[in-house]
Structure 1
C-alpha cells in the first residue's frame, strides 16, 4: 500500500477529512434559486482545505442530471474558457442545440467564430448569454467554480458579466475560493461589491477526534502498529490544520515503513522535518502577507508564557491604545491566524506557529 497522505498544495489527497455536513448544506442550498449560496466565497488561510472543499461540492453537484459544473482557472480568459467548458460538459443533445447558435461552432480545439465575428469582450458575453438561454430552456443549471481568486482585469470583466446574469435570473451559481486578504481586496473593488451579498464560507479547524480516528483507520489499513496515546498526540500536533494533517501523516507513514511501528521515537525522528515543511510551505507565505503592525501584534502575543493571551498583556507590550490593538486583533482574526478563546483573550490557530513567530522575532532583533 502506497503512502495515502498527500501534503502537496492544490491537489486532492486520497485521504482527507470530509466536511460532509457543510458540503451537503451547500449542495442542497444550490437547488434553491433564492439561496444566498448562489454566490459563495470559500475562504481561509493557506492549507486549510479550500480546494478540496470546492472540488467536493463540484463533484456532488455534477452527479445531478440537471447541472453542468465548470471549473475555471484564474490564469485563463475566463469568458472564453467558460464557453468552451459549457460545450464540452454538455450532453450530446445539448451540444446539438448549442451548435445551432448562429456564427458559432466548436472543434476539438474549442470555440470557433465565423470570420465576420470579432473576438471581443462583448462578443463573448453575447455568445454566453445565448448559450445559457438555451440551457435554461432545457432546465439546465450551471455551477461555475474559480479557485484562489485574485483581483485581475479578467476577473473584473467576468464579475461584471455575472452580475448581468444574476439580474436576469439565470440559474447560474458561482463559488470561489481565496485567501482572506485576497477576498477582502475583491470586495473593496467597485465592480465586486455584489460579492458582499454572497455567502461567505469560512473553513475552520478540523475536529481533533475526527483526525485521531482517521489516522487510526488509515494506519491500521496499512498494517501499522500505533498506540492510542500516539494517535492522540498526532491529532494534537495538527491542531486541526488540514495541511498539517496531511503532512504529519505522510512523514510518519514514511518514517515507520520499515518496522511498521509508530511510537514516540518515530515522532521525534520526523519532528524537525515536520516543523521545517510547515515553515517553508505554509508559514513563511502566511507571515509574509501580513503588515508590519500585524507582525508586531503577533510578536507581542508570542512572547507571553501563556497559550491563551490576554489582550491587555498585548496592549501593554505594544504600548498602544485599545482601539489600535482592537483593529489588528480583528485583522488577524479575519485572516485566521489567531482565534478568540474567551472574552479578552486570543490564541494562535496554527500548530507551532507561536514558535515560528518567536524565531522570526529573534531574527529581526539580531539583524538590527
Structure 2
C-alpha cells in the first residue's frame, strides 16, 4: 500500500482531518441567499489546511443538483477564466444556451470571440458573464466561485468590482476565497474590497489533538502497523494540531516503519531530526521571514522563557517596552496565528517546535554579527 499521507502543498491528501461540522455549516449557509457566507474568506497561516477546506466545500456543494462550482486561480485572467470554467462546468442544456450568446463561440479550446471583437476588454467579459448568469438564474442554478491564496492586485480588484455588481443585482453567486492573514488584512484595506468586511471570515486554526490521535490510530492500525496508545498520543503532541505537521509526521513515520511495521519511541527519535528540518524549510522559514522586526523580538522574548505558557508581564520585562506597545504586537501575532492566548495575560506558540526554531534563528543571527 502506498503512503496515504501527503505533506505537499496545494494537494488534497488521501488522509486528512475533515473539519466536518464546519464544512456542513458552510454548505447549509450557502443555500441561504441572505447568509453572510455568500462572501466568505477562509484564512490561516501556511499549512493549516485552507486549500483542502476549499476543495472539500467545492466538492460537497456540487453534489447538490442546483449548484455549479467554479475554481479559479490567482495569476490568470480571472474574468476570461470564469467564462471558460463556467461553460465547462455547465451541463449540455446550459452549454447550448451559452452558445446562443451573440458574438461568442465555445469550443474545446475555450471561448472564441467573433471577428468584430478584435481585443476583448473587461467590459466584454462582463457582458458575456452577465448573460451567462442570467440564463443560470432563470433555471434556478446557483454558482460558487472559489479563489485560492488571494493577494491584492489590479486583476483581483477588477474581479471583486464585478462580483459586487452581481451581488447588488441579486444573482445567486457565492464567492469563497482563501488567504494568509496578512494578505486578507491587505485586501480589506482596499476601497473596492470593503464589501469583504460584511462577509464571513472563517479562521482555520489548530485541529483537536484527540482527532489527530484517532486518525493516526485508524490509519496505522488498519494498515497492520503496531503502535501503542502512548506513542499515538506523543505523535499527536508532536503535531500540536497543525495540519501540515500531521501530514508530514504521518508520512515520515509510515516510511520509516514500513519494513517491520513497528512504531515506537526509538522510531520517533530517529525521524525527529528530519521532521524538524522539513518543518523549518517548508513552513517556518516563510512564516518567520514574514514577521516584522518587532514581531520577531516579541517571539524571541517568548522563546527565551523557560515556560510553555508565557506571561505578557515577562515578555514586557524582556522587551523593556510599555504595555500598549506589547499589546499591539501581541494582537498582530494572534491575528497571524503565530501565537495563541492560553489564559488571561498568557500566550503560547501555536506551532510544534517553533520555539526551538526561533532560538536557532537567534543563535545564527548572533553568529553573523
> 1:89-100 to 2 correspondence within 5 Å?
89-100=89-100
Task: List per-residue Cα deviations over 1:258-287 (Å, max 9, x = no partner).
Answer: 111001111011000000000000000000
Residues 233-248 of structure 1 mapped to structure 2, 5 A cutoff:
233-248=234-249
Further displaced range: 329-338 or 189-198: 189-198
Aligned to 2:225: 224
Q: Residue 4 of structure 1 aligns to a residue in which SS?
A: coil
**Distance (Å, rounded) in 2 between the aligned partners of 1:343 and 1:218:** 38
CA distance in 2, matches of 1:2, 1:171: 42
* Cα distance in 1, alignment partners of residues 224 and 155 from structure 2: 50
1:1-368 paired onto structure 2 within 5 Å: 1-117=1-117, 118-368=119-369
Question: Would you say how many aligned residue pairs link Structure 1 and Structure 2?
Answer: 368
User: In 2, distance between residues paired with 1:278 and 1:218?
Assistant: 22
Distance in 1 separating the partners of 2:181 and 2:103: 42
Q: Which 4+ residue blocks in structure 1 deviate beyond 6 angstroms? A: none
The CA RMSD measured in Å over matched residues stands at 0.7
Q: State how far apart, in whole Å, the 2-side matches of 1:152 and 1:179 are.
A: 15
Distance 2:105 2:269 in 1: 61
When structure 1 is superposed on structure 2, of 109-118 and 158-167 the one drifting more is 109-118
Q: Secondary structure of the equivalent of 1:350?
A: coil
Q: Tell me how far apart the structure 2 counterparts of residues 92 and 137 of structure 1 sit (CA, whole Å).
A: 16
- Residue 343 of structure 1 deviates from its aligned partner by 0.7
Q: CA deviation at 1:105?
A: 1.2
- Which stretches in structure 1 are left out of the alignment for 5+ residues? none
- The TM-score normalised by the length of structure 1 is 0.99
Q: Which runs of 5+ in 2 are unaligned?
A: none
> Quick one: distance in 1 between partners of 2:344 and 2:41?
28
Distance 1:188 1:30 in 2: 25
**CA apart distance, 1:314:** 0.5
- Work out the CA distance in 2 between the residues paired with 1:219 and 1:84: 42
- Structure 1 residues 115-124 or 267-276, which shifts more? 115-124
TM-score, length-scaled by structure 2: 0.99
How many Å separate the matches in 1 of 2:19 and 2:232?
21
